[in-house]
Amino acid sequence: MNCKQFNTIPLEEVLQILGHFPTKQTAKEAWFLNPFATENHASFKLDKRNNIWYLHSEGIGGNNTDFMQKYLKASVKEVLEWAEKQNFSSFQPQNSIQKQNSLKQNYQITEIKELQNENLKDYLHQRGLSTKVHPLVKEIHFRIDQKNLYAIGFENLSGGWELRNLFYKGSLLKKDISILNFNNESQNQNKIGKRIAVFEGFMDALSFVEMKPFYKGDVLVMNSISLLNRTKEYLKNYSEIHLFLDNDKAGETCKNSILKSFPEAKNHSEIYALHKDLSEYFVFRNNTKIEKQQQVELNPKQEQEESEINQAHQTYRRKR
């Protein structure tokens, strides 16, 4: 392997092999905690389109070779020797069979169970989500190469999983849409006449479940905007469609495409117009409520203190 070949490998896969996972990501970029030092806020940005990185905390960046030279504190020759020993799923020096085998080695689910891990429960709680949503997810233990990890898992129709924890956002196995059913009284064999709410990510859907505890109908989670056509095909079974898509360029494009195919669909993104998505709005709303409650709890004491001060001033005036 030479530098040109190594630099064509997605840096995201290189980081994954080294045990570094994005704290947040989009189709175009991903953010990581500094791989070279300890930090609390992600400052390492990966440009997926150009496969280059930039470390904002140090003001440096480059390609894969530059990254590994700094990471290993090694020469170009030593970096390429390291790269030769890795089984990159995106590098095929021989044939597609080798690629398939390496993929099977890189990803392995070791256990699927009901949500029990306190760290994962705390993560949901931080997102404003109660125990009400616990039955809708699973606790997934998995291995990427030799690294054992666990995350909240949300299953799709093909048996694949969307994964989330405080530090990781990704997926395992085949990508597909997910469907949740909530006691739709109008359900019939052909599904015609059913109500459905559409979301891009499952955290948005879980937030909706918390916000609308008496909702009757189905919920569709796209899991990826690349599944737009699959989503539209499924929506043909419904006469009442409600859209809760992201307030970004990709979400806008997706929303417009669905509205073009289903003119009667209702868009609700204006509810969270000042936020990227419904989940972000839900967290903001909950935090605001907590602040207001704290203010209400403090007000009686504050009023008492002000009353005491005023009484003291009046007494002082009388004595004079």
At 103 the pLDDT is 40
At 291 the pLDDT is 54
Q: Are both 118 and 161 inside the same structural domain?
A: yes
Q: Give the lowest-confidence range in 36-45, 224-233, 310-319.
A: 310-319
Q: Does residue 74 lie within any of the structural domains?
A: yes
φ, ψ dihedrals at 169, nearest 5°: -140, 115
Q: Does residue 96 lie within any of the structural domains?
A: no
Q: Are both 135 and 183 inside the same structural domain?
A: no
Give one word for 299, left, alpha or beta, with left for phi > 0 and alpha for psi -120 to 50: alpha
Mind listing the pLDDT tens digit for each residue in 192-238?
Answer: 558 999 999 999 999 999 998 889 999 999 988 778 888 999 999 89
Q: What type of residue is 140?
A: I
Q: Give the lowest-confidence range in 31-35, 38-42, 61-65.
A: 38-42
- What CATH number is attached to the domain comprising 194? 3.40.1360.10
Mind listing the pLDDT tens digit for each residue in 154-195?
Answer: 999 989 889 888 877 788 888 889 999 987 554 444 445 589
CA separation for the pair 152, 169 (Å, rounded)? 10
Residue 102 has pLDDT above 50, yes or no: no
Q: Are both 185 and 269 inside the same structural domain?
A: yes
At 183 the pLDDT is 73
Of 156, 172, 188, the last residue of a domain is: 172
CA separation for the pair 225, 313 (Å, rounded)? 66
- Which has more pLDDT, 315 or 130? 130
CB-based contacts of 137: which residues, under 8 Å, 6+ apart? 115, 152, 153, 154, 202, 206
Q: Does residue 291 lie within any of the structural domains?
A: no
Q: Does residue 238 lie within any of the structural domains?
A: yes
Residue 315 has pLDDT above 90, yes or no: no
Q: Are both 152 and 185 inside the same structural domain?
A: no
Q: Does residue 300 lie within any of the structural domains?
A: no
Number of structural domains, the chain?
3
Q: Are both 222 and 268 inside the same structural domain?
A: yes
Q: Are both 163 and 196 inside the same structural domain?
A: no
Residue 34 has pLDDT above 70, yes or no: yes
Q: Are both 183 and 271 inside the same structural domain?
A: yes
At 193 the pLDDT is 57
At 38 the pLDDT is 82
Task: Give the structural domain span for 183.
Answer: 178-278
Q: Are both 79 and 133 inside the same structural domain?
A: no
What sign has the CA pseudo-torsion 306, 308, 309, 313? Answer: positive
CA separation for the pair 188, 213 (Å, rounded)? 22
Q: Does residue 316 lie within any of the structural domains?
A: no
* Tally of CB atoms within 10 A around 207: 27
Q: Does residue 235 lie within any of the structural domains?
A: yes
Binned at pLDDT 50, 70 and 90, residue 15 comes out as confident
At 316 the pLDDT is 44
Q: Looking at the chain, how many residues does it have?
A: 320
Q: Does residue 312 lie within any of the structural domains?
A: no
Mind listing the pLDDT tens digit for each residue in 288-304?
Answer: 765 555 555 555 555 55
For the chain, how big is the Rg over CA atoms in Å?
Answer: 25
Residue 74 has pLDDT above 50, yes or no: yes
Token look-up 């117009």 returns 273
Token look-up 């403090």 returns 298
CA separation for the pair 256, 250 (Å, rounded)? 10
User: How wide is the angle at C-alpha 126 spanned by C-alphas 161 and 172, nearest 5°?
Assistant: 10
At 219 the pLDDT is 94
At 76 the pLDDT is 92
Please give the average per-residue pLDDT across 107-128, as a whole number.
Answer: 89
Alpha carbon separation from 240 to 30, 185, 197 (Å, rounded): 35, 14, 9
Alpha carbon separation from 268 to 134, 214, 243 (Å, rounded): 25, 18, 6
What sign has the CA pseudo-torsion 147, 148, 154, 155? Answer: positive
Tell me what the pLDDT averaged over the chain comes to: 81
- What CATH number is attached to the domain comprising 7? 3.90.580.10
Residue 107, beta-bridge partner list? 144
Of 172, 195, 218, the last residue of a domain is: 172
Of 118, 153, 172, the last residue of a domain is: 172
Q: Are both 145 and 187 inside the same structural domain?
A: no
Q: Are both 83 and 121 inside the same structural domain?
A: no
At 116 the pLDDT is 92
28 near 20, Cβ under 8 Å? no
Q: Are both 274 and 198 inside the same structural domain?
A: yes
Q: Are both 274 and 184 inside the same structural domain?
A: yes
